[in-house]
Structure 1
């Protein structure tokens, strides 16, 4: 593949785990990096940090009841989780391909806040890829189901998010993804 990494941009959140790892790989390969954050949020990785103001956060605002219904579990109405959900909107809205790391649940949603990024990707009809840590494989959302795939970053904008509890195998799979895409 002959992709020039400098023409690509990763949109992420800079948190510990998958997001920090996506950022390190982006830096290693020369991919531009934007990490969305908000006042009072502490990032593991602040390279390319883009602080969202209140007006920008509001663009990603959605009722926590809708988030809870869509994901089939309850989320607190707290201000911090709301801001995280709002910042995930900006990652998915800016990145065309969506890459996440975590766990696919029996109801076909993805565990935790990462699941909201996946659900937004579905709503926006984006190519979505989840590295499923228990099954140690990449899956893509195709025709309303998860299908095992070997993904490649081929769109100039992509988002990378996922669990804070990254396994060694998942980190290796992310490394392989960048190598497949940019070497």
Structure 2
């Protein structure tokens, strides 16, 4: 990781995404926030408002999203736009970091789970900090393995729950601090 060349892609929402952005800024890492018209952000630095056409590039069947996440998503314009925005985050960032809760079916709770499923689909390096377990996990060989990941690529995604715990906040800060320290040691 070379923080001068690094870019964080996020959605700028309260909780995990805002904290990823604050940590990136603190460590001198560029941040790009994807959003859409009318979407209320908690953090709005370097935001890119996706056009209707750009959003449509990330379009997905709500039925498919529901099936992949093992939950029901109804056809609402806002949820569709959120999922389309997440597509752009994961499509642009190579490594994916998520703060949330890993479910028994290996999905991640809430809309955040869409970033996880896309990362699996796109075969991206994927890491989830499970807040209830207070532990990082990496997706390897079709299963979650305990890990202590570092930011290792020039582009990465920071996403996750709006309901960030102190442990989740500390995990994000440690991720940036440890990744920057590891770069200096090389």
Report TM bin, short chain. Answer: over 0.9
1:141 matched to 2:132? The reply is: no
Alignment correspondent of 2:155:
157
> Is residue 138–residue 145 contact of structure 2 (8 Å, CA) maintained in 1?
yes
CA RMSD, Structure 1 to Structure 2 (Å): 0.6
1:179 matched to 2:177? The reply is: yes
Cα distance in 1 for residues equivalent to 2:163 and 2:37 = 24
How much does 1:53 deviate? 0.2
TM-score when scaled to structure 1? 0.98
Cα distance in 1 for residues equivalent to 2:14 and 2:72 = 23
> Is residue 2–residue 154 contact of structure 2 (8 Å, CA) maintained in 1?
no
Cα distance in 2 for residues equivalent to 1:170 and 1:125 = 24
4+ runs deviating over 4 angstroms: none
Cα distance in 2 for residues equivalent to 1:76 and 1:182 = 41
Alignment correspondent of 1:64:
62
TM-score when scaled to structure 2? 0.96
The 5-angstrom pairing of residues 5-154 of structure 1 reads 5-154=3-152
How much does 1:76 deviate? 1.8
How much does 1:35 deviate? 0.2
Cα distance in 2 for residues equivalent to 1:115 and 1:37 = 18
Question: Gapped runs of 5+ residues in structure 1?
Answer: none
Kindly provide the CA deviation profile for residues 34-80 of structure 1, in whole angstroms up to 9, marking residues without a partner as x: 00000000100000100000000000000000000001110121000
Cα distance in 2 for residues equivalent to 1:86 and 1:56 = 9
Cα distance in 2 for residues equivalent to 1:57 and 1:23 = 22
- SS of structure 1 residue aligned to 2:9: strand
Cα distance in 2 for residues equivalent to 1:26 and 1:6 = 11
Cα distance in 2 for residues equivalent to 1:4 and 1:97 = 14
Question: Gapped runs of 5+ residues in structure 2?
Answer: 182-186
